[in-house]
Structure 1
Amino acid sequence: MGREVADFFTGIGARLAITRNETGLSQTEMAKEIGVSLRAYHSYEKGDRGLPIEALVTLHEKFDSDVNWILLGTKSARIEHDIDALEEFETSLDRFLTDQGIKIKSEKRGAIVARWYRSLTDGKEIQMEAVHTWIELLRE
């Protein structure tokens, strides 16, 4: 798999993790809801595999997920969400991790982003100090 494709799959995986966390489902539950095995679903969130069209359509039908956002990162997960804030947070998070020389697995990074984003959509501002604590708990 080429680097561009791997980056594309990683982005889809991160947005899939956000979508799953918004619904409050575990990976096992989400896999069942969209009709795939847990092993396959886990590989989608990790960015190791592409998400099948059938699973993408099911995500849209069952959870009103924005297909453009999941695939391309454009528009929003739902209209009321602030994607600009999400992108700014992800940039800040990646910059912090790089500056500090911290390595965490992509699914753990996705969990941090999802938790922060969930707080944003719930109207609860999360300070970066709290995010730094989450990072410390998830370090490799």
Structure 2
Amino acid sequence: MAVYVEDISAANMTISTGEREFFVALGERMASMRKARNLTQVQFAEALGVSQQTVQAYEVGRRRIPVSALPIVARLFDVSLEELFGEGNRSRGKRGPTSRLEQQMEAISQLPKTQQRFVTQMLDTVLTQAKQ
């Protein structure tokens, strides 16, 4: 039995500027979440069952991540799909601006790992002293 696979040309696969911007932003969020959890691209790729190069392409928006992989990504990062899509504040039902602590946590997650470790050590020291 022969299986017919339709030839999909590049013209049929083009995406709009808005869609491209969405996938670039999604990739940036995934990279940020991955780094905040101290996961490598290789570990992320293993969880998705793809190569490290594919994960790198997702993170820079060069490739579109399959819709079927999004729930896996959300579970891996322990976030809702809304948060993964950058709509986390709306899903919580919280109104008003982001709290200062949330803004600081986001800023810390963007720091290099060495600086994140330094901030974590400082927080651990302060919290330990506060318990005494």
TM-score by length of 2: 0.56
Pair 1:82-2:82 in alignment? no
Q: Secondary structure at the match of 1:24?
A: coil
Number of equivalenced pairs: 97
Which of 66, 71, 90 lines up with 1:57 in the alignment?
71
Contact 1:31 1:38 in 2 (8 A): yes
Contact 1:13 1:46 in 2 (8 A): yes
- Rounded to whole Å, the distance in 1 between the matches of 2:36 and 2:42 is 15
- Rounded to whole Å, the distance in 1 between the matches of 2:80 and 2:103 is 12
- Rounded to whole Å, the distance in 2 between the matches of 1:36 and 1:115 is 27
Change (3 A) 1:26 1:7: same
Matches within 5 A, 1:119-134: 119=116, 122=120
Alignment correspondent of 1:115: 111
Alignment correspondent of 2:20: 6
Q: Secondary structure at the match of 1:16?
A: helix
Rg: which structure is higher?
2
What's the RMSD between the two structures over aligned residues?
3.6
The percentage of aligned residue pairs carrying the same residue is 24
Pair 1:15-2:29 in alignment? yes
Q: Which amino acid aligns with 1:51?
A: I
Contact 1:21 1:115 in 2 (8 A): no
Change (3 A) 1:75 1:83: farther
Unaligned segments of structure 2, at least 5 residues = 1-14, 93-98, 124-132
Change (3 A) 1:113 1:46: farther
Unaligned segments of structure 1, at least 5 residues = 90-111, 126-140
Q: Secondary structure at the match of 1:61?
A: helix
Contact 1:75 1:83 in 2 (8 A): no
Alignment correspondent of 2:42: 28
Contact 1:14 1:45 in 2 (8 A): yes
Alignment correspondent of 2:3: none
Contact 1:60 1:66 in 2 (8 A): yes
TM-score by length of 1: 0.54
1:11 is displaced (CA, Å) by 0.5
